[in-house]
Structure 1
Amino acid sequence: MGEQATLFIDGEAGTTGLGIRQRLAALPVTVRSIDPVLRKDAGARYDMMCAVDLVVLCLPDAASREAAGMVEAIRAEGRAAPRLLDASTAFRVDPGWTYGFPEMDPGQAAAIAASSHVANPGCYPTGAIALLRPLVRAGIMAPDFPVTINAVSGYSGGGRAVIEAHEHDDGPAFELYGLGLAHKHLPEMTRYAGLTRTPLFVPSVGHFPQGMIVSIPLHLDMLAGRVTGEDLRAVLTDHFSGSDRIAVADAQDTLSADTLAGTDLMELRVHCNESRRQAVLTARLDNLGKGASGAAIQNIALMLGLASPAPRAA
């Protein structure tokens, strides 16, 4: 048996980094760490990057760009540079990086496996792209369709200030945010859903730690042909057939956002009223599971040529 692949999480003390580190117990890899005192020391980080096969960046955008620059400097010196998986938004629409949503298209997992630079998807875009891209590719939804996306997430993905505000019994029950309509996830949603018109996206955060629902309302008569809810469901079912993480489930009258908390699963649904010719598409997932750390584990396994571990289930 050969030596295990080595991996360094730059930013392992953050929410996503901790989730990845915990899930890595399911993969045959060796995780290297630097002394916490030196976690911001550029020299120590550079030396560690030189010594591993894969670097996972769990950093703010600016810091991720700086860290990626370190890897390019290693390559410029003629040394063996590690592969990169970035969990920030810094490179998600960069043409030099592969988008790390393995189920997005039939060939996406192979593209991730062959890539030296992979951008882990955002949590909201994972749900939105899963619902929209199959419809656009099937010709049911025009690329310039006026899409509206509403979403609610647990507070764990909101950063330190949001987490601290909610980790009290008197924390806010529910908040809309991003009402400047320029959320940082919009570029990847637009590109990878296959849209030419930027969606209207209204995110929110609830007073629960983990979980997410992304919902997209539709007037069926605005889609191509006389489509039904069953047509939409069939397209989604066909697109994600064979996936062990994404399932098309039966419609429900009510949905709780935190049902899949702690898992790496995502459920897609088509809720339809045929007499009114209206539908609501929903994606339910854990914002820290399939929406972050769970997706990263899939990508790490692909990039290192390892069997993907079974997803965490409810």
Structure 2
Amino acid sequence: MLPKVFIDGEAGTTGLQIADRLRQRSDLDVISIDPAMRKDVDERARLMNMADAVILCLPDDAARLGVSLVTNKNTIIIDASTAHRTAAGWTYGFPEMDKGQRAAIRASTRISNPGCYPTGVIALVRPLVARGLLPVSHPLTVNAVSGYTGGGNAMIAEFENGDAPNPTRDNYRIYGLSQKHKHPPEMMRYSRLANLPVFAPAVGRFAQGMIVEVPLALWALPGKPKRAALHEALAHAYEGERFVRVVPLTESDRLTGLEPEACNDTNRLELYVFGSDDQARLVARLDNLGKGASGAAVQNLNIALGLDEWTGLEA
């Protein structure tokens, strides 16, 4: 019998992408709710408890409610919201983050999907902290830009629909100005930092794709590490990984710019170390709807169900 998978919130941006990926497969049975019953709690609970795995693509409060509806102790929950990313009892669903992370995901029934911005930050920073190249107390700054699909249906309508209640002509917009964005606690915890980073997010007039950047004044760090040492730490951390590519320095040095959409429709995460031996720009490029959302959820689903991790995913 094929594993049954239920996507709660299938009509949303992430849910639609996950459903599209899973319905192309012959090794899963994707069960769906009648659209007229999407708000019927009893029907949602029935489908969740008959499923081998549930993927929650909901706002935080709705995701917490969804978790409370699952009484089947064998049902695996993968939550794509931010509700449980730093919660006790939940396994962080970034398989490449640590050598033991895949085993932890495989053994868990409660898996939190990483945020798109934190995926880039953690991938760049955690190996440097582990090597002692970056102190845990370092005052980190994160600059990032994402496609507007990262803002959900309301932002998509704002950028795509001139008849929307609040259409915009903005080509580029910074936001999160109050420094109360929900992602920094996640970045801090899994990057193993002692303090919240200063997070400077932005949105651009492109649908999907993102760039996450961590600038570092190498001359101000203990030991004054060279750019090559940072690159070597990243290359070692992700050696052999299919979806994470640490771009060689020789290739990076040939570039005069970097656009955010090159990884779209893939589960690929590209890491760059630009700059000099005095100043470095650590950069991650990924699809905010791929490795930053739906691709990561599918990867976690594959691991949790004991399937081939790479099935249905494009590197």
**Alignment partner, residue 121 of structure 2:** 128
**Alignment partner, residue 4 of structure 1:** 2
Which of 106, 113, 134 is equivalent to 2:106? Answer: 113
Q: Displacement of 1:168 after TM fit?
A: 5.0
Q: Which amino acid aligns with 2:117?
A: Y
Question: C-alpha distance in 2, partners of 1:217/1:309?
Answer: 32
Give the aligned length: 303
Q: Displacement of 1:171 after TM fit?
A: 3.0
Query: Contact 1:165–1:172 at 8 Å: present in 2 too?
Result: no
Q: 1:168 to 1:70 in 2, by over 3 A?
A: closer
Which of 192, 195, 198 is equivalent to 1:197? Answer: 195
Partner-residue secondary structure (3-state), 1:118: strand
**Alignment partner, residue 36 of structure 1:** 35
**Alignment partner, residue 165 of structure 2:** none
Which of 255, 259, 281 is equivalent to 1:256? Answer: 259
**Alignment partner, residue 297 of structure 1:** 298
1:214-233 matched pairs, under 5 angstroms: 214-233=212-231
Which of 183, 186, 200 is equivalent to 1:185? Answer: 183
Matched, 1:90 2:93: no
Partner-residue secondary structure (3-state), 1:103: helix
**Normalised by the size of structure 2, how large is the TM-score?**
0.93
Partner-residue secondary structure (3-state), 2:188: helix
Q: 1:7 to 1:203 in 2, by over 3 A?
A: same
Q: Displacement of 1:23 after TM fit?
A: 1.3
Identity %: 49
Partner-residue secondary structure (3-state), 1:283: strand
Matched, 1:267 2:266: no
Partner-residue secondary structure (3-state), 1:214: strand
Q: Which amino acid aligns with 1:290?
A: K
Q: Which amino acid aligns with 2:314?
A: R
Matched, 1:243 2:245: no
Matched, 1:158 2:151: yes
Q: Displacement of 1:81 after TM fit?
A: 4.3
Question: C-alpha distance in 2, partners of 1:224/1:302?
Answer: 39
Query: Contact 2:116–2:288 at 8 Å: present in 1 too?
Result: yes
Partner-residue secondary structure (3-state), 1:109: helix
Q: Displacement of 1:27 after TM fit?
A: 6.2
Query: Contact 2:12–2:153 at 8 Å: present in 1 too?
Result: no
Q: 1:26 to 1:229 in 2, by over 3 A?
A: farther
**Alignment partner, residue 207 of structure 1:** 205
Relative to structure 2, which stretch is displaced further, 20-29 or 57-66? 20-29
**Alignment partner, residue 314 of structure 2:** 312
Q: Which amino acid aligns with 1:283?
A: A
Partner-residue secondary structure (3-state), 2:97: coil
Q: Displacement of 1:222 after TM fit?
A: 2.3
5+ unaligned residues in a row in structure 1: which ranges?
Answer: none
Question: C-alpha distance in 1, partners of 2:42/2:161?
Answer: 39
Q: Displacement of 1:159 after TM fit?
A: 1.7
Question: C-alpha distance in 2, partners of 1:232/1:213?
Answer: 19
Partner-residue secondary structure (3-state), 2:96: coil
**Alignment partner, residue 21 of structure 1:** 19
